[in-house]
Structure 1
Amino acid sequence: MTTASTHSACTRNDRPVLVSVHNLKKHFDLGRQQCVYAVNGVSFDIHEGETLGLVGESGCGKSTTGRSVLGLYDPTEGYVTFRGQDIHQVKGHARRKLLRDMQMIFQDPYASLNPRASVFDLIAEPLDIHGLYRDPREKAQRVGMLLEEVGLNASFARRYPHEFSGGQRQRIGIARALALEPAFIVADEPISALDVSIQAQIVQLLQRLQRERKLTFLFIAHDLSMVQYVSDRVGVMYMGYMAELADSHELYHNPLHPYTQALLSAIPVPDPQIQRQRTGQVLHGELPSPLAPTTGCAFKSRCPKAMTVCQSEAPVWREHTPGHFAACHALDADGSHP
């Protein structure tokens, strides 16, 4: 799997592109001539008002991609544009203003909130940094409105994070992310640390906020069934590479890449009779080490369709049907591309 030189809009979406990621690579130097190859040449666009889901196994580079998109990590190679501007090239006040429109909802609502700060201070901090109020009364009003917008009582502002459940803490984190009225939010596994009964409530809250505020989301998760429910398009990552990207319905009903097919076969079906008749695809072989650069296809050691060419040549990122991209030598051998 490799980045194609034919990077273009990965969909037939007519909405303007808000975020564009071009050949993004992020490697972490560990010293002693060791390096983690976390992201290895990822490209995609996110259009205004859509939700792009990003899925894959733990350690595949999803979160690193999301943090690089927000400018929290400087890329080793490649670049990210937001409204046409390279976020890593903009400096000073212009960079602060640009990044104000890009916020993050973190995975762990227990770790992402300072336990020594009140809810009021947590939500008001971005308002303080950017000076987005005229007086203390206006600041208090804005904090109260944000709490109510995410389904919490404004009186909770004087409490501390330990006084709330996991779902309530995540709502506080969402309110903090909304404080600067961003256009784009990276939601990094925002429900994985929550009880199943609470997950649906948080997802419904995010969907309502997206409609009301016209938000754009990069939704990172490992729960494929949930990603299908919330996303307009879905990208599948493997060992730092993008394996497949397509419209959500298309990806789940017509997966092209063997890795995507294996992931989807592992999703349980609610009907016990159908579930018993299913034959899931078990992946054998060893995961490649993220400490070594990949030769050939990153999935070759586990792929049931691996060929000789997979050992030495990285497959090309290709549009096989309109808006449906994948990188696989087996697809190319089958003639499954234009």
Structure 2
Amino acid sequence: MAIHKNNKLPLVSVQALKKHFFLNKHQTIKALNGVSFEIHKGETFGLVGESGCGKSTVGRTIMGLYPPTAGQVYIHGKDIHQASAQENKIRQRQIQMIFQDPYASLNPRATIFEIIAEPLEIHRVHKNKNDLRQHIDSLLKEVGLNPAHAHRYPHEFSGGQRQRVGIARALALEPDIIIADEPISALDVSIQAQIVLLLQRLQQDKKLTYLFIAHDLAMVKYLSDRVGVMYLGQMAELASSHELYTNPLHPYTQALLSAIPVPDPDLEKKRQRILLKGELPSAINPPAGCVFHTRCPQAQAICRQQLPVWQEHAPGHFAACHLIAERNR
């Protein structure tokens, strides 16, 4: 298992992770096909890519909602899928999730108080109802909600308020890491900024670690310390946020970044977009060789034949691409 440069274990280590969903005897969805990365304590790790690339599957597998087909997920150096029942109970407190849809993720028949109280009661955090009530009141205040509204139901709140409830629930057990799976994509743009600022403030106040899953590259750049780019179940590139956005190495990353609008109209007119041809291939029958070669404007013969090696091309800057490896020789 990989060790961080300062010889401290990463908070989360994902190694050669595969997750396949078997539809029938002849069809298998290869949602993840060998994903590796680490998340260090206190950072925000952004995970980006097109819809269907496997981002959410990564988050759910780290959470333990999906068992991996192959590979390992380590939390504090322990393989979560080889853990005992007692260790799993501890892990459930260490990792929490904020879901994309703030309405579908909340039980419509439960009050806000009951929704936030559920994980606290399962893990028997409080000895009496008074302590529980005070804790929930404090959580609601932290996310900008009125504790007096705790006995209302989800449908009585706006989308942004419901997402604040989801954040309060994720904070309830004081987790080491929060997986935020597209937490703002279902919200109005004006509300998105409020939720992002809330997540940043909570991270500073509580020393939180985030896995931030999104397709909005501009928002990921703003929030993340490091960013991983996924394509069709595989990691294409990984680097610090600044390095990735100023010096993208992989043709797929370059194409994604070329699509981000620039606020200066003159610069926007002069910019050259990299247009990808064709559609995203099916995860049931991914292309041989480099999975991106069917849409890559720079593809060569080797790209259709051999799977590129995931390697470090500069300090902390990883990518899987034959063209980069060839240039570095």
TM-score range, shorter chain: over 0.9
Deviation sequence 1:65-116 (CA, Å, 0-9, x none): 1110111100000010000110011121221112211000000001100111
2: CA distance, partners of 1:55 / 1:213: 25
2: CA distance, partners of 1:246 / 1:133: 41
Deviation sequence 1:273-324 (CA, Å, 0-9, x none): 1111111000113422111244100000010111111111000001000000
2: CA distance, partners of 1:8 / 1:307: 32
CA RMSD of superposed structures (Å): 1.4
Q: Look up the match of 2:45.
A: 52
1: CA distance, partners of 2:114 / 2:262: 44
2: CA distance, partners of 1:210 / 1:34: 42
2: CA distance, partners of 1:291 / 1:94: 34
1:243 aligns with 2:239: no
Q: Look up the match of 2:136.
A: 143
Identity, % of aligned positions? 64
| Equivalent position to 1:226, from 219, 228, 235 | 219
Deviation sequence 1:1-33 (CA, Å, 0-9, x none): xxxxxx846x86776410000100000001142
Q: Look up the match of 2:322.
A: 329
Aligned to 1:259, the other structure's residue is in SS state helix
2: CA distance, partners of 1:233 / 1:117: 37
Q: Look up the match of 2:20.
A: 27
Q: Look up the match of 1:173.
A: 166
Maintained 8 Å contact 1:22/1:78: yes
| Equivalent position to 1:130, from 120, 123, 126 | 123
Aligned to 2:20, the other structure's residue is in SS state strand
Aligned to 1:25, the other structure's residue is in SS state strand
Q: Identify the range of structure 1 (229-238 vs 98-107) with the bigger mean alpha-carbon deviation.
A: 98-107
Q: Look up the match of 1:4.
A: none
2: CA distance, partners of 1:218 / 1:13: 21
Q: Look up the match of 2:29.
A: 36
| Equivalent position to 1:312, from 294, 305, 312 | 305
Following superposition of structure 1 onto structure 2, how do residues 153-302 of structure 1 map, counting pairs within 5 Å?
Answer: 153-302=146-295
2: CA distance, partners of 1:264 / 1:196: 20
1: CA distance, partners of 2:209 / 2:280: 33
1:80 aligns with 2:73: yes
Maintained 8 Å contact 2:9/2:76: no
Aligned to 1:108, the other structure's residue is in SS state coil
Aligned to 1:187, the other structure's residue is in SS state strand
1: CA distance, partners of 2:26 / 2:227: 35
2: CA distance, partners of 1:41 / 1:56: 16
2: CA distance, partners of 1:236 / 1:291: 20
Maintained 8 Å contact 1:189/1:221: yes
2: CA distance, partners of 1:12 / 1:274: 39
2: CA distance, partners of 1:235 / 1:94: 29
Aligned to 1:36, the other structure's residue is in SS state strand
Q: TM-score, normalised by structure 1?
A: 0.95
Q: How many residues align?
A: 329
Q: How far has the Cα of 1:335 moved from its partner?
A: 1.6
Maintained 8 Å contact 1:12/1:323: no
- Unaligned segments of structure 1, at least 5 residues: 1-6
1: CA distance, partners of 2:92 / 2:286: 32
Maintained 8 Å contact 2:203/2:209: yes
Following superposition of structure 1 onto structure 2, how do residues 86-101 of structure 1 map, counting pairs within 5 Å?
Answer: 86-101=79-94
- Unaligned segments of structure 2, at least 5 residues: none
